[in-house]
Structure 1
Amino acid sequence: MIGDEQRLRELTAEWNSIDRSQVTAWESRVAALSQEAAAIRAAGRWRTGKRTLMEVLGDHRLETRLVTCLAWVLRPEEHHGLGDQVVRGFFEKLGLPFDEAARVRVTVEESRYTADGVQTRADLVVRVGRSCVLVEAKFNAKQHGDQCERLAELWAPEAATLVFLARDGHERDAPAGWSTLTWRDIAGLMAPLPPGSSAGARDLWETLDGGGLAMPDEKTKFYLRHWSQIQEWASLRGEAVKEIGAAAQRGAEGVDPAILAAAESEWFTVGSSQTFELTRSSWRLGAFRATIALQWTEAGLLVDGDSTWPYVGVRIESANRFTKDRLASRLTERLRTPAVQLGWTHSQLSQGWLWWRFVTPVGSDEDLESLAEGCRTALEDGWRELSGPIDEVFAAETTGGDEGDVGSGPG
């Protein structure tokens, strides 16, 4: 028996040694990857968000703006610096002769009328010498009615080549007799961009190309280099989230019994949000209800954003829009001073939180016992400092008192 106990101690010591060694290796690797990512950022190759000015302005999905830009690059004399590269390539792709000596004429929203007076607009018409190309452009919209038939009929006297310019190559809207091109085909006509091409031409090219020919995404390359290690670390988040939730729960369950005796307490779950509330029956008027609450959202824990850690604050429920609710406004103002003294300086009335703050571990993120203690003391301090002022506001409401009945300092 003694031998078994000794062997168990030896195995436990060996396991602890292996575990610490693995953690040390992980920490070293994390530091190395952090330095690698920092170097990529410093070199300006770690990019996020929108890639082009057209995307920033929201023009990259607007059909009329894209057609205007297409007309611009089709005109050889414009300041894009592409010359006739795009229009020449456009005609060659359609199997049409391109007369380099002929004038290139490009019109947008060209109108004609049917015999019964119905106006029909062509998105784009390109004429070079005796050749005419009519473009019906689509991005988010679909073809409707007999639009393409009317276009074909009205431009038949010029023997126009009909082009259906679609968002991708899988469109089925193009009727018989129409050639289908895509916006990425247009980007292909612009490549390679000549050395003298303008910034606007490059911006349009990158917008239409959608990233296929743009700069390599260093973030993706970084992930592909290290995906196995990153995946291993990511799998640890689930356990960490459970431990944070357990610490917050221990904190709530450790609240001073005297406070629990004076308050009504309740746990409830909505989606991935866990909430513990302290309240009184008198803190309810009709559909309006106030509580001092501790809450955390499992999906948001340890993720940059609004739910990185548990948070404590004054929470309300109301049938009205919070920002328009008179009682919510009175509570917000009455609690301002004592709440700020507690460090509850955040306010998101539109989300039902009057005053709140995050509860975070003290010293280091791994000290979850300090997180549990922080949750407990935050709830207790909140109750001791704010329950009196909340009582005053509800008492003034129920007795018909005006705003002069409600003080402006700590209760």
Structure 2
Amino acid sequence: MSQWKPRLADMRATQQALLVSRRWRGGPRTLLAALDLQYRELAVTAGLAWLLRPDGHHGLGPAVLDGLLDHLEIDGSGADPGVRVVLEEQREETRADLVVYGPSWTIVVEAKTFAVEQERQLDRLHARWSDEPTPCFVFLARGERLPLTAVASRTAWSGLTWREVAEIARTAAGPMAEVAPGVHDYIATLEAYHRA
């Protein structure tokens, strides 16, 4: 027990030195985390939707959408006229978290942070959006997570992780001189809280 007192005193002194030199950090790592939004499915999906808008105030132009199209091996461009990004689109009893409509392609995203899939969720999404131009169905989750409710539509779904979204966004933001500060906070949030 007596050996712990000097060690504890050393640790306190080290912490104090780090505090004085402003190298000690505490609390949430990003603004989204400070707002308790880092794991909220709607919030992080809305952030992705924001980045995917080619005309968005984020300052990235079509770079994030182009990165996603490349990642999903979709022949298209984020700069194509008429690209639409829709959050929470409802069709009958089914709602898609995110849909990106291009001139000759469609990306339908079911995003998950910690929530479980609803009954037949992915098969229902596939049934409601399969008639869109060249649909690509994406199951976006933390880590490599198998889509359990894609039974009839199993081969139609591609996996994507939040970490890969962060990489796509970081690559897009890298060469850009002037991007909105929220871009960096969003990327940092995904990197810090969705590493799995």
Please report the TM-score for the alignment, with normalisation by the length of structure 2. Answer: 0.81
Equivalent position of 2:57 in the other structure: 79
Distance 1:128 1:134 in 2: 11
- Write the letter of the residue equivalent to 2:140: L
1:193-236 Cα distance to aligned partner (Å, 9 max, x none): 333122211111111111799xxxxxxxxxxxxxxxxxxxxxxx
Structure 2: gaps (5+ residues): none
Equivalent position of 2:108 in the other structure: 134
Distance 1:212 1:126 in 2: 23
User: How far did 1:37 drift?
Assistant: 4.2
- Write the letter of the residue equivalent to 1:157: D
Equivalent position of 1:60 in the other structure: 38
1:207 equivalent to 2:189? Answer yes
User: How far did 1:76 drift?
Assistant: 2.0
1:75-98 Cα distance to aligned partner (Å, 9 max, x none): 122122222221111111001112
**Is the Cα–Cα contact under 8 Å of residues 74 and 87 in structure 1 kept in the other structure?**
yes
1:354-409 Cα distance to aligned partner (Å, 9 max, x none): xxxxxxxxxxxxxxxxxxxxxxxxxxxxxxxxxxxxxxxxxxxxxxxxxxxxxxxx
**Is the Cα–Cα contact under 8 Å of residues 29 and 192 in structure 2 kept in the other structure?**
no
Distance 1:99 1:188 in 2: 19
SS at match of 1:210: helix
Distance 1:129 1:172 in 2: 28
1:97 equivalent to 2:71? Answer no
SS at match of 1:129: coil
Equivalent position of 1:149 in the other structure: 123
1:124-172 Cα distance to aligned partner (Å, 9 max, x none): 1012221100001111111121121121111111131000011221345
Which of 1 and 2 has greater Rg?
Answer: 1
1:178 equivalent to 2:157? Answer yes
Equivalent position of 2:143 in the other structure: 168
- Write the letter of the residue equivalent to 2:95: R
Equivalent position of 1:110 in the other structure: 89
Matches within 5 A, 1:302-317: none
Please identify, of 78-87 and 204-213, the stretch whose mean Cα deviation from structure 2 is larger: 204-213
Distance 1:70 1:209, change over 3 A: same
- Write the letter of the residue equivalent to 2:137: L
Structure 1: gaps (5+ residues): 1-21, 114-118, 214-411
Distance 1:105 1:121 in 2: 17
**Is the Cα–Cα contact under 8 Å of residues 76 and 87 in structure 1 kept in the other structure?**
yes
User: How far did 1:122 drift?
Assistant: 0.9
Please identify, of 99-108 and 135-144, the stretch whose mean Cα deviation from structure 2 is larger: 99-108
Distance 2:190 2:78 in 1: 26
Distance 1:133 1:174 in 2: 18
Aligned residues: 181
**Is the Cα–Cα contact under 8 Å of residues 142 and 173 in structure 1 kept in the other structure?**
no
Identity across the alignment (%): 36
**Is the Cα–Cα contact under 8 Å of residues 99 and 129 in structure 1 kept in the other structure?**
no
Equivalent position of 1:260 in the other structure: none
Normalized per residue, the structure richer in helix is 1
Matches within 5 A, 1:1-400: 30=10, 34=13, 37-103=15-81, 104-113=83-92, 119-158=93-132, 159-173=134-148, 175=150, 176=154, 177-192=156-171, 193=173, 194-210=176-192
Distance 1:171 1:156, change over 3 A: closer
Distance 1:211 1:145 in 2: 27
Higher RCO (CA < 8 A, seq sep 6+): 2
